Amino acid sequence: MTSTSHDRLLIIDFGSQVTQLIARRLRESNVYCEIHPYQNVTDAFLADFAPKAVILSGGPDSVTREGSPRAPQSLFDMGVPILGICYGQQTMMEQLGGKVESGHGTAEFGRAFVTPNDHKLDLLDGWFANGKEQVWMSHGDHVSQIAPGFEVYGTSPNAPCAIIADASRHFYAVQFHPEVHHTPNGAKLYENFVKLAGFTGDWTMAGYKDQAIAAIREQVGDKQVICGLSGGVDSSVTAILLHEAIGEQLTCVFVDHGLLRLNEAAEVVKMFRDNYNIKLIHADESDLFLGELDGVSDPETKRKIIGKLFIDVFQKYANGIEGAEFLAQGTLYPDVIESVSFSGGPSVTIKSHHNVGGLPEKMGLKLVEPLRELFKDEVRALGLELGLPASFIGRHPFPGPGLAIRCPGEITREKLAILQQADAVYIDQIRKHGLYDEIWQAFAAILPMKTVGVMGDGRTYDYAVAIRAVTSVDGMTADTYPFTHEFMGETMTRIINEVKGVNRVFYDLTSKPPGTIELE
């Protein structure tokens, strides 16, 4: 699906670690943008994409190195506003007749302050109210001579050309990174840039929903679509969007592997059947999964068994759906952005994410991926637009292998039942104390050990439960959530009092790294 009806901004990626943040800032201004690696942006690509404005990202290379990346020269003749960031600024200067030099004590990493000169520039509206702006620098090279037509509008101690522009052509270039958090007023620069480029802010979730529905109808025609539902936000939003678009042509398959949280299967099935009247197959295959997992304690073996069975089961049910030609998946934009590979030359790696890995090829199904253009928070906004309850949209992530990876050692029905109950009590505590939305992920795990305790004057020999809560932005790194001692004491008491079979509770203090969020 493409968004040709929107004004489009093109971000040419030179491999900066923070290019995705540029896209985030622009989407916050309701501007539709796409990131493409510089290798793919040819003259023909540019002509076809027809951007209303272009941003050149930062990158790790040096424009002083022979053969280093460049923007297509035709870009500068398109008559569209261009903004160069860091490496983007430098290649812009090099390509337009300026000069860039390396090192010589002018490298700058981290916080710096930029001061303005006397000239006014539309890009800088709302900047320098206090005489200077904090910015985030990360450069070894610097512009030593600006290209003809350019003027300097801001300098920092080690970047004499921190902000430069050729205002008549709407070409702007900055040495620092306005997209990062440590350039506190950086979002304003992007806002000014898209405003002066004439964007109307037509990228809204209501508009996206209508457009996505129309695109799904066009793609699918009168054919049947199947969708694997996990109960998570991405697959749920995908399913509901498809249901709005094609109604009865959609069948969802919810594979219940017996490793879900307490009452989860019933709640998911009820929500989809009652509220949305979606055709839903509830595949209760818990006996199969738990049977195959019997006696298995190696974490990777568990994951492999679950992954394989999941595909087998999904395929079994999908085969029964007559005329199915499409498989819907909740792939998100970060999964499809091609990453620039400097070591690997022009061949870039495409991260492709399959919720039901390998199925489309195996079954000869075509893919419908209506969330491919969205970031996670945009999926949440779309979910709200589609009427999903806020409490559902804000649920903590839950891994595909479910409770299996929260039960180190052998999985038994007894341990799973204890784990489900302990987890439910713990999450109830967090909700009651109003902490749920502050935490990225919280869950209980059951440890592969029994310990001795004393309850009601009697000896106990029961399971130990670990509780875990982490804060995170993307799940890649995580920090332990700092509960109060009082909260932890109350939670321990409730779990032991309310869950039979548990006599000890541990709090997992491990951050990621060195730990991972899940125990396995």
The catalytic site residues sit at: 86, 177, 179
Q: Is 516 in the site for ligand XMP (CB under 6 A)?
A: yes
Distance CA 285, CA 291 (A): 10
Among 399, 406, 407, 505, binds ligand XMP (CB under 6 A): 399
> Binding segment for ligand XMP among 83-91, 121-129, 372-380, 393-401 (CB under 6 A)?
393-401
For residue 513, cis peptide bond before it (omega within 30 degrees of 0): yes
Least distance (Å) between residue 338 CB and ligand XMP: 22
Per-residue DSSP letter, 274: I
**Residue 299 interacts with ligand XMP (CB under 6 A): yes or no:** no
Closest approach of Cβ 445 to ligand XMP, in Å?
11
The sign of the torsion formed by the CA atoms of 345, 350, 351, 357 equals negative
Residue 300 CB, nearest approach to ligand XMP (Å): 11
C-alpha 93/C-alpha 87 separation (Å) is: 10
User: What is the β-pairing status of strands 279-284 and 250-256?
Assistant: parallel
CB of 8 to ligand XMP, least distance (A): 31
Question: Considering the rule CB under 6 A, would residue 517 count as an interface residue with ligand XMP?
Answer: yes
Return the residues of window 448-487 that contact ligand XMP according to CB under 6 A: 475
CB within 8 Å of 240: residues ≥ 6 apart: 276, 278, 383, 386, 387, 388
Of residues 263, 389, 251, the one with CA closest to residue 320: 251
C-beta atoms surrounding 428 within 10 Å = 14
Q: Say whether residue 223 binds ligand XMP (CB under 6 A).
A: no
Single residue of 441, 444, 495, 505 touching ligand XMP by CB under 6 A: 441
Strands 32-37 and 8-13: parallel
Residue nearer to ligand XMP on the CB measure, 178 or 231? 231
Is the CB of 232 or the CB of 501 nearer to ligand XMP?
232
- 195 versus 512: smaller Cβ distance to ligand XMP: 512
| Least distance from ligand XMP to the Cβ atom of residue 353, Å | 10
Q: Which is nearer to ligand XMP, 320 or 475 (CB)?
A: 475
Distance CA 225, CA 65 (A): 51
- To ligand XMP, the closest distance from the beta carbon of 377 in angstroms equals 16
d(CA 210, CA 241): 10
Rounded distance between C-alpha atoms, residue 155 and residue 133, angstroms: 10
Using the rule CB under 6 A, is 518 a contact of ligand XMP?
A: yes
The CB-of-241 to ligand XMP minimum distance in angstroms stands at 20
Which lies closer to ligand XMP via its Cβ, residue 9 or residue 445?
445
- DSSP symbol at 478: B
Does 512 sit near ligand XMP (CB under 6 A)?
yes
Q: Which is nearer to ligand XMP, 64 or 472 (CB)?
A: 472
CB of 397 to ligand XMP, least distance (A): 4
| Residue 4: both structure tokens together | 């040709």
Stretch that binds ligand XMP, among 7-15, 82-90, 290-298, 509-517 (CB under 6 A): 509-517
**Is the Cβ–Cβ distance between 81 and 197 less than 8 Å?**
yes
Q: Which of 35, 45, 48, 95 is nearest to 69 (CA)?
A: 95
Taking CB under 6 A as the binding criterion, the range among 164-172, 371-379, 392-400, 408-416 that sits at the site for ligand XMP is 392-400
Q: Of 120, 123, 100, 119, give the one whose Cα is nearest residue 53.
A: 123
Count of residues binding ligand XMP (CB under 6 A)? 10
Task: Give the β-pairing of 82-85 and 53-56.
Answer: parallel
Which span (81-89, 140-148, 341-349, 397-405) binds ligand XMP, by CB under 6 A? 397-405
Count CA atoms within 13 Å of residue 267 on its CB side. Answer: 12
DSSP calls for 244-306? HHHGGGEEEEEEE-S-SPTTHHHHHHHIIIIIH--EEEEEE-HHHHHHHHTT---HHHHHHHH
Binding to ligand XMP by residue 400, rule CB under 6 A? yes
In angstroms, give the least distance from the CB of 490 to ligand XMP: 25
3-state SS of 150-199?
Answer: CEEEEEECCEEEEEEEEHHHCEEEECCCCCCCCCCCHHHHHHHHHHHCCC
Cβ closest to ligand XMP, residue 207 vs residue 397: 397
Beta carbon nearer to ligand XMP, 149 or 334: 334
Choice from 15, 258, 401, 501 touching ligand XMP (CB under 6 A) = 401
Based on the shown chain and the rule CB under 6 A, indicate whether residue 80 belongs to the binding site for ligand XMP.
no
- Give bridge partners of residue 497 from the DSSP assignment: none
Pick the closer one to ligand XMP by CB: 81 or 401: 401
Q: By CB under 6 A, is residue 73 in contact with ligand XMP?
A: no
Give the closest residue to 496 by CA, choosing from 457, 519, 465, 467.
465
- The answer to whether 397 contacts ligand XMP (rule: CB under 6 A) is yes
Q: Which residues bind ligand XMP (CB under 6 A)?
A: 397, 399-401, 441, 475, 512, 516-518
